[in-house]
Amino acid sequence: GAGVSQTPSNKVTEKGKYVELRCDPISGHTALYWYRQSLGQGPEFLIYFQGTGAADDSGLPNDRFFAVRPEGSVSTLKIQRTERGDSAVYLCASSLLNTGELFFGEGSRLTVL
């Protein structure tokens, strides 16, 4: 497709479980970002990839969160030992680095029971 694709669109899990969220960016976009949005708030930065490497992971809240982008395209956000406070919409975006204009996917809504 032409836009950023995220799967799953909805994920319900139990406290303590492991979760993976996938992002497929716009073809040709080298920059990929993960953001997290809680209800009534603006998105908050988690991590940024340029190619395969995480250039800035300063927004990851703790070491239960990890993200990879092994081939410089698709990225997976991994959350271990989920907690109820992890419930949010996880948004992925991609861009051509030199424009700075981000294009977002529809998000993955995570609910931890």
Partner 1 sequence: KQEVTQIPAALSVPEGENLVLNCSFTDSAIYNLQWFRQDPGKGLTSLLLIQSSQREQTSGRLNASLDKSSGRSTLYIAASQPGDSATYLCAVWAGAGSYQLTFGKGTKLSVIP
The verdict on 48 binding partner 1 (CB under 8 A) reads: yes
Q: How far is the C-alpha of 35 from the C-alpha of 3, rounded, in Å? A: 17
The verdict on 102 binding partner 1 (CB under 8 A) reads: yes
Nearer to partner 1, 18 or 40 (CB): 40
| Assigned token pair, 52 | 């395969």
Closest separation in Å from C-beta 53 to partner 1: 12
For residue 38, give the DSSP letter. Answer: -
Amino acid identity for residue 39 in this structure: L
Chain positions contacting partner 1, by CB under 8 A: 4, 6, 31, 33, 35, 40-45, 48, 50, 55-56, 58-59, 91, 93, 99-107, 109
